[in-house]
Amino acid sequence: MASSDDLTSLPTPPSCTADFCLIPLGTPTASVSKEVAEVQRLLKKSGLNYSMHSAGTTTEGSWDEVMKVIGQCHAMLHRNGVVRIQSDIRVGTRTDKKQGFRDKVEAVERLLEEDA
């Protein structure tokens, strides 16, 4: 068990995978397509790997890079007039191996192919 004396200077993880679903509140319509498109544009500019699916967007990079870009998505939408934003973020880190988010799907698909 590590001492907690120096915890406040611990570096954040060098890599992570984060999947986030961002929801604007108090907007005139129930549609979020416009906001999600803005998020995709910002991610493209960020240079990080990312992939959109129907329930969120997955991205990967260092912990600080990934969290910064999600925070910038909030800031961008606030600048566009959205007064309140809530995101759900599923973030994973691991030290046993380097695994990109696309590798995870392939690992499962290989197991399922054995069924055939």
Query: Residue 61, interface with a second copy (CB under 8 A)?
Result: no
98 lines the binding site for a second copy (CB under 8 A): no
Q: List the structure tokens of 104.
A: 């995870």
Question: Could you give the CA distance from residue 63 to residue 17 in angstroms, rounded to a whole number?
Answer: 8
Beta bridge partners of 18: 59, 91
Does residue number 48 form part of the binding site for a second copy (CB under 8 A)? no
116 binds a second copy (CB under 8 A): no
> Are 81 and 88 spatial neighbours (Cβ–Cβ below 8 Å)?
no
CB of 68 to a second copy, least distance (A): 6
Query: Nearest distance from residue 69's CB to a second copy, in Å?
Result: 9
Token readout for 30 is 């129930």
Q: Is 1 in the site for a second copy (CB under 8 A)?
A: yes
Is 99 exposed, middle or buried (CB count within 10 Å of its CB: 0-12, 13-18, 19+)? middle
Residue 10 makes contact with a second copy by CB under 8 A: yes
> Does 15 help bind a second copy (rule: CB under 8 A)?
no
Among positions 17-36, residues that touch a second copy (CB under 8 A) are 17, 19, 21, 23-34, 36
